[in-house]
Chain A
Amino acid sequence: MGPVVVFVPLDAAARSIGADDVAIAVVREAAVRRRDIRLVRNGSRGMFWLEPLVEVSTPEGRVAYGPVEAGNVGELLDAGMLDGAPHRLCLGKTEEIPQLRRQTRFTFARVGINDPLSVADYEATGGLAGVRRALEMTPQEIVTAVTDSGLRGRGGAGFPAGIKWQTVLNMPSGLKFIACNADEGDSGTFADRMLMEGDPFLLVEGMAIAGLAVGANEGYIYIRSEYPDAFATLSAAIDIAYLNGWVGPSVLGTDRSFDLHLRVGAGSYICGEETAMLESLEGRRGMIRAKPPLPAIAGLFGKPTVVNNVLTLATVPPILAKGAEAFGELGVGRSRGTQVFQLAGNIKYGGIVETAFGVTLGELVEEYGGGTASGRPVRAVQVGGPLGAYLPTSRFDLPMDYEAFAAAGAMVGHGGIVVFDETVDMSHQARFAMEFCAEESCGKCTPCRVGAVRGVEVIDRIIAGVDREANLELLEDLCETMVDGSLCAMGGLTPLPVRSALKHFPEDFEHVKAVPL
């Protein structure tokens, strides 16, 4: 009998609550008991209320234990954890944990399963099938498959990926680029981080396929500096991909080349806006560019560029490997496939829920999420990051669907859902939206640069009870100016959380309170 395989996640979130200590304890306690084990540091399954989640390989499948503390490990081994024996922390087979069993893991199929940097694991679980398929296809066939799948940009705007790729493909051949936006700055989102830490080869493969599809031989991944673990894993993954000839002068032994560079941001939220990201990649201040021209026509260094989010690119390999229909048959309306939703904030069962579009907001928050962590009633949820709307529980019937959310004055965005309990003061959240915009605005256009500062001041006056009616009217005017006059989504969408807070929670703006901080 070979060694028992024990999995302890290396994901930054799991490590943030002690996974490293657990891993060390597993090795130590197994040695003390003379048990032969092989420790694998996998990605996270995305069930953070169970982290650190330890899994043990048994003949019947992987058995999970969690949340495990380093101090529990000896006791767990004595109880027979290495043989999958029962214990109060035993969760049964991992795949049968209710929140996981109900999911449809398409993009995240491999996250939490493998050692993220194992070439053998990657290939054994279907890795490289997408790029191999792409090498048999013409560029137009690849782009058509992406278009047919209905895949839309996962970064937030939801623009059809295939149309973007087609535009770049149609540009005359010459220098073209693939730029991956890994500047996941929205609060309540962590799916890009988890994918880069848990299945980095998938992103590399997606980048290579994008290059083959549009005729680009160079790719850049722009990752935020706040993600040191993801940077380290992705950096190692790129080196390994080069060593194995997956990228470089000859992609998988063909005459196609694709070079991949990893670049790090420097603490600027606005660099998650695609044109600001391009400026930053070029070595300039992260000031947004007016569009047109679209980056697909004149992007990085003025050349045609595909700019896609991490999850968009990472969804392409399985689309090619399994067929556009396998993805496109999931979802509702024009929101096709799955979305990697992220349950965050004051939530009992926080983490990743990858499932088809069309699941309702209420199902995600209450059924998957189990309500709040504090045990108090849910009061508001913010969907789609700091620029997304605040919604009350009366809108829990909304299906997760780009168009349905837009019609409700909200946005799906990157699929992050931040839950607040009844202690939240929505006037403070509205103020924070303006404060955040003032802090992070690149300063290029006046409605955003000045509007956000004035927005904080006006909300402060409303909160303080000064000329409330007149100031509410002024705030509405200001929001209108920002929406209509801003060059990008930073100024253009900041009014979304502000207005939705006012609309759904007007009572929070009616009583005189101390101004926060």
Chain B
Amino acid sequence: MVSKTSSSYVPWSQERAVAIFERHRTERGALMPILHELQDVFGHIDPRAVDLVAEELNLSKAEVYGVVTFYKDFRSEPPGTSVIHVCRGEACQSMGAERLARHAREHLAVDFGGTTSDGAVTLEQVFCLGNCALSPAVLVDGRLKGRVDEAGFDELVAACRTEAR
């Protein structure tokens, strides 16, 4: 869940990670909830977390690594202060999303998955945010935005940069 900014992430702590396992230990199929919480707390899935998860859940490191890398949400490095998802689904395409996607990459000078050099914004692509009657749609730190044109995108970025300072 992309619902907070990096300022609230904590540095790696084994005790903190173990506390997360304890909370989920009795759940069926606990791996996904554990990975989500690890990322919510630390901002990304630290390699040390992979080792620990494997040990705690009696899985091979390869299995855990395989799950972490399968899902786009799980990061191997912390994101920028803000994360902006630009929708490239068909509904948004019909309202100019490809133009917006191009503009976003040029404006931020990063490709999808990249973080701006000042660390303020990580740019991601997404295929549908469920706002298909108010396209193009963008998600900024978990907040949905509708009818976002190029100028609107620049305003959102400016707000993120102000927040990052």
Point out residues on A near B: beta carbons under 8 Å. Answer: 12-13, 15-17, 48-49, 51, 184-190, 192-193, 225-231, 261, 263-269, 280-286, 301, 342-347, 350-351, 373, 382, 386, 416, 418-421, 424, 429, 432, 436, 439-440, 516-517
- Secondary structure at the A interface, as helix, strand, loop or mixed, is mixed
**A228-B94 in contact (CB<8A):** no
**A48-B133 in contact (CB<8A):** yes
**B144-A350 in contact (CB<8A):** no
* Chain A residues, CB < 8 A from B147: 17
Report the separation of the CA atoms of residues A269 and B131 in the bound assembly, to the nearest whole angstrom: 16
Report the separation of the CA atoms of residues A17 and B27 in the bound assembly, to the nearest whole angstrom: 38
**A228-B1 in contact (CB<8A):** yes
Q: Does B95 contact A (CB under 8 A)?
A: yes
Total CB contacts across the A-B interface at under 8 A: 164
Q: Does B72 contact A (CB under 8 A)?
A: yes
**A263-B33 in contact (CB<8A):** yes
Binds A, one of B12-20, B114-122, B135-143, B157-165: B135-143
Closest 5 CB pairs of A and B: A350-B133, A187-B89, A283-B31, A266-B71, A344-B132
Per-residue 0/1 for B1-45: is the Cβ within 8 Å of any A Cβ (1 yes, 0 no)? 111000000000000000000000001111111011000000000
**B32-A344 in contact (CB<8A):** no
With A16-B137, A264-B32 known, 4 other A-B pairs at CB within 8 A are: A17-B134, A283-B31, A421-B94, A440-B127
Q: Does B126 contact A (CB under 8 A)?
A: yes
Partner of A264, one of B36, B142, B143: B36
Report the separation of the CA atoms of residues A199 and B134 in the bound assembly, to the nearest whole angstrom: 21
Point out residues on B near A: beta carbons under 8 Å. Answer: 1-3, 27-33, 35-36, 57, 63, 66-67, 70-74, 85, 87, 89-95, 98, 102, 126-135, 137, 139, 142-147
**A13-B144 in contact (CB<8A):** yes
Report the separation of the CA atoms of residues A15 and B73 in the bound assembly, to the nearest whole angstrom: 24
* Chain A residues, CB < 8 A from B74: 266
Partner of B146, one of A13, A187, A192: A13
Smallest CB gap from A12: residue in B? B144
Smallest CB gap from B67: residue in A? A285
Report the separation of the CA atoms of residues A48 and B134 in the bound assembly, to the nearest whole angstrom: 7
A187-B91, A190-B130, A266-B35 given as contacts; is B146 within 8 A of A225 (CB)? no
Partner of B133, one of A184, A186, A342, A432: A342
Report the separation of the CA atoms of residues A192 and B128 in the bound assembly, to the nearest whole angstrom: 13
Partner of A429, one of B32, B90, B130, B139: B90
* CB of A288, distance to nearest CB on chain B (Å): 12
